[in-house]
Chains A and B, each alone.
Chain A
Amino acid sequence: MLGTANATAEPLELALYARDAGVAEGHAVAVCWPATGAQLAAAVRVARAHGRPFVVRGSGTGLAGGATPLGDPVVIVTTRLDRILEVDARSRVAWVEPGVLNLDLSRAVRHLGLHYAPDPSSQQACTIGGNVGTNAGGPHCLAYGVTSAHVLAVEVVLPDGEVALLGGLAPDEPGYDLRGCFVGSEGTMGAATRIAVRLTPDPPEVATMLCAFASVEDAAATVSETIASGVLPAALEMMDAPITRAVEDFVGAGYPRDAQAVLLVEVDGLPAGVAEQAAQVEAIARAHGATAVRTAADEAERALLWKGRKSAFGAIARIAPDYYLHDAVVPRTRLVEVLGEIARIAAAHRLLVMNVFHAGDGNLHPLIVFDGREPGTWQRVRAAGTAILEACLDAGGVLTGEHGVGVEKRDLMPRLFGPDDLDAQARLRDAFDPDGAANPMKVLPRGSRCGELQRVPEGTWI
């Protein structure tokens, strides 16, 4: 049905799909590129008929190994499913195929005064289908919510090959929120073939501010007080000194090189509310010793400020050949102490860590930069990464805010969830995928099902 041109088992091609943008590596037995939803469904059925699991992937920008093929699966690539099927400006809904790139959707509806709100840093490259898989976030999710808040319905191929429409355009579909279960399930509940997303009207007024500080503590305290004061910014991003300088060298966004930390704050809405909130943010920043507060004068300056933030990861290449990007969330009231702890951990492991993150919702992205060619470095990077996650959990945080669990954090799940909690999650997954055929060995560690460890393996001599 797919034709030989759209599927391969050539070892060299398979190797290209052995991992995503994370570090975990796997192995696919075949890769295919369906061009229609029916072909995607057929690919799932063919894989199952041959006793193979399947892994669906978009652009492979995921950082947690969610698209790493484990269990010798068939990899189904959605990049050819890249059509925007329908845009209903009046109802503010678009139907898209899973391979549509995140930014392409916003570009396609810009002339209507609309956009697609979730805006991960990889939005030029990542697909909406992949965003649905990880329940992706982005700077503007602070006010507008992560992917799940923007997905109204998903047509999916369930792991048994059946096609089902989960959710719908009507506001209250009766029964369980299967759509909500599917979004963020990291490909373990089936494959999306069509997605209905909510489009967000562009705000009538936007103010984008850059606040510079002489210490990370002052910046973090400004974040906490801004949230506590009742301002709900559209975005509230923080960058520490090393990343600020790297970005400035890279794109010349006008960030102050002497600052120890900068905040990029955006407030939007109606004119008076924007003016009031911008004034509030500025007052709070100045009360915490901001050395400079600058508001973008026009759209060009605003775009430049954002370009700096979104180029952060590209800028790292100028400092060291490798980086390991983490993703964890802590309560916003604990930012100051957790950032201090991260600095201590990095120092103890003789590593450079940079921080560029969604401060407004406590979503940390500690970035360890290093040269992997130096012997022993990887071990230190891994040890420091685990210690950082532990510190976040100890502060009442969670393992991931937007990248997903994948394989990277799978075995840390018991740090956050007890055996009964994991058992419940495993039961939910099994309801969708009783054979464990969809993206096996992801999200939940082995032994999540109650009694799983006690079960006598098939063929055991007893």
Chain B
Amino acid sequence: MDLTPLQEAVASARTVVAVGARTQWRIGEPVAPDAAVVRAPAGVVRHEPADMTVTVGAGTPFGDLDRVLAAAGQECPLDPADPRATVGGVLAAGLSGLRRLRLGPLRDLVLEVRVVLGDGRVVKGGGPTVKNVTGYDLPRLYVGSLGTLGVLAQVTLRCRPRPTVSRWCRAPEPPPAGTRPSAVLWDGERVQVCFEGVRADVDAQCRGLPEIDGPVLPAGAHRGRISVPPGAVRPLAASLAALRGLRWCAQLGVGTVHVATDDVPALVAAREAAHAHGGWLLCEQGAPGLPAFGRPLPNAALMRRVKDAFDPDGKFAPGRLPLAGAPAAGARA
């Protein structure tokens, strides 16, 4: 995959922001408006079905990748809410999908990254094999880095067999021990659960439960994602239930709670509840003017040093991640 145009675009700009499909553009603080927009190349470079790995340009829409993998009976559970989201965008935002309960977080799917740094150099981290501890773990560092450490240009991902059957059901209560749900969503009244695998196992787990088309998440002009220790979900839910105009749905066993409202103050109150239960509320949509994270980031000084190590000129996504002591955007450019 030819990365030269991207390298040149990055090297020649004073500040840069990598853009995918802008489906998660609200994640993080706004980027300085004068940052030059760059895009990673799109396309599947190599799919090795027998190795269950796939290498793609970071600008590849998830839907395109999913089609290629489906043809070989495989999948890569990046699971963005919107299939137009690019692979690089999903990884940079770092937010895992609804099946995290069984399939794990996004960060465990990335085997190798190729990243364009500020001077246009391409750096490789990780390796193409499914198991690898050679050197420092750059792939995990880039997941969730919000484009602030360089531009993800090309990535190699771990694939898995696509389940023969994948079914969502509505249930009165969370599934009993001994079942293996991929997702359990709970909104205080009802449960939506996803079972996957071979038909006989899925049928047995779904017995007596009404099937639904797919999960319904709370809707509203202003949306956020709460992250609390999984054990704190139920006490948090009690606080959220008391908030007028707030709709919420928790991923049980994970600790992610999706919240939505048409009133910004309700989102602010939900954030306070999240903080009270040892967690965070990340703005995902709307909520103009509301800070993205709501609290100072943990270990900000160490994160600052990591940022400076990869982006000494403050070139990438200036403003996105509020780290103390940030040099002015493009200060040394």
Contacts and interface: CB of A to CB of B under 8 A. Distances in A.
A90 B231 contact: yes
A232 B100 contact: no
A413 B131 contact: no
A423 B136 CA distance: 11
A276 to B, nearest CB: 5
Interface in A370-423: 396-405, 409, 413, 416-418, 420-423
B273 interface: no
Given A141-B131, A230-B73, A424-B125, A431 B141 contact: no
Interface in B88-133: 94-96, 100, 104-105, 107-108, 115, 117, 121-125, 127-133
B100 A431 contact: no
Nearest to A399: B134
A227 B115 CA distance: 30
B125 A425 contact: yes
A175 B134 contact: no
Contact of B136 (A134, A173, A181, A362): A181
Contacts of B201: 269-273
A428 interface: yes
B298 A158 contact: no
Contacts of A176: 141, 144-145, 149, 303, 306-307
B230 A329 contact: no
B197 A405 contact: no
A277 to B, nearest CB: 8
A428 B309 contact: yes
A15 interface: no
B52 interface: yes
Interface in A215-231: 224-225, 227-228, 230-231
A26 interface: no
A85 interface: no
B160 A232 contact: yes
Contacts of B129: 329-331, 361-362, 396-398, 401
Interface centre among A92, A269, A270, A434, by most chain B C-beta atoms within 10 angstroms, is: A270
Contact of A398 (B127, B161, B253): B127
Contacts of B140: 148, 177, 180-181
Contacts of B306: 176, 178, 181, 428, 431
B282 interface: yes
A170 B280 contact: yes
Nearest to B108: A149
Interface string B202-223: 0011000000000000000000
B254 A171 contact: yes
A174 interface: yes
Interface in A121-176: 134-135, 137, 141, 145-146, 148-149, 158, 164-166, 168-176
Interface string A77-88: 000000000001
A443 interface: yes
B152 to A, nearest CB: 14
Contacts of B48: 331, 333
A41 B140 CA distance: 27
Nearest to B27: A174
Nearest to A174: B293
Contacts of B200: 271-272
A4 interface: no
A227 B129 CA distance: 14
A109 to B, nearest CB: 15
B176 to A, nearest CB: 11
A110 interface: no
Interface string A173-191: 1111110110111000000
Interface size, B (range): 35 or more
A145 B299 contact: no
Given A90-B231, A402-B131, A331 B51 contact: yes
B137 interface: yes
Nearest to A141: B131
Nearest to B160: A232
B144 to A, nearest CB: 6
B180 A270 contact: yes
B200 to A, nearest CB: 3
Interface in B69-95: 73-74, 94-95
Given A178-B306, A399-B134, A425-B136, A173 B298 contact: yes
Contacts of A171: 96, 100, 105, 227, 230, 254-256
A177 B107 contact: yes
A400 B134 contact: yes
A101 to B, nearest CB: 21
Contact of A178 (B130, B231, B302): B302
Contacts of B53: 331
B198 A276 contact: yes
Given A172-B282, A430-B309, A362 B131 contact: yes
Contact of A443 (B136, B143, B178, B300): B136
A132 to B, nearest CB: 12
Contacts of B308: 431
B151 to A, nearest CB: 14
Nearest to A432: B302
A230 B52 CA distance: 9
B22 interface: no
A294 interface: no
Contacts of B108: 145, 148-149
Contacts of A420: 117, 121-123
A169 B94 contact: no
Interface of A: 88, 90-93, 113, 134-135, 137, 141, 145-146, 148-149, 158, 164-166, 168-178, 180-181, 183-185, 204, 224-225, 227-228, 230-232, 269-273, 276, 329-333, 358, 361-363, 396-405, 409, 413, 416-418, 420-425, 427-432, 434, 443-444
Given A93-B231, A171-B256, A431-B306, 9 more contacts: A164-B299, A170-B278, A172-B256, A175-B303, A176-B145, A232-B160, A272-B199, A405-B133, A420-B122
20 contacts: A145-B104, A165-B299, A170-B227, A172-B280, A180-B137, A183-B137, A270-B180, A270-B198, A270-B204, A270-B205, A271-B201, A273-B201, A329-B131, A332-B50, A398-B128, A400-B134, A401-B133, A423-B123, A424-B117, A431-B308
Closest A-B pairs by Cβ, 10 of them: A180-B140, A272-B200, A169-B229, A427-B309, A228-B50, A230-B161, A270-B201, A431-B305, A398-B127, A91-B231
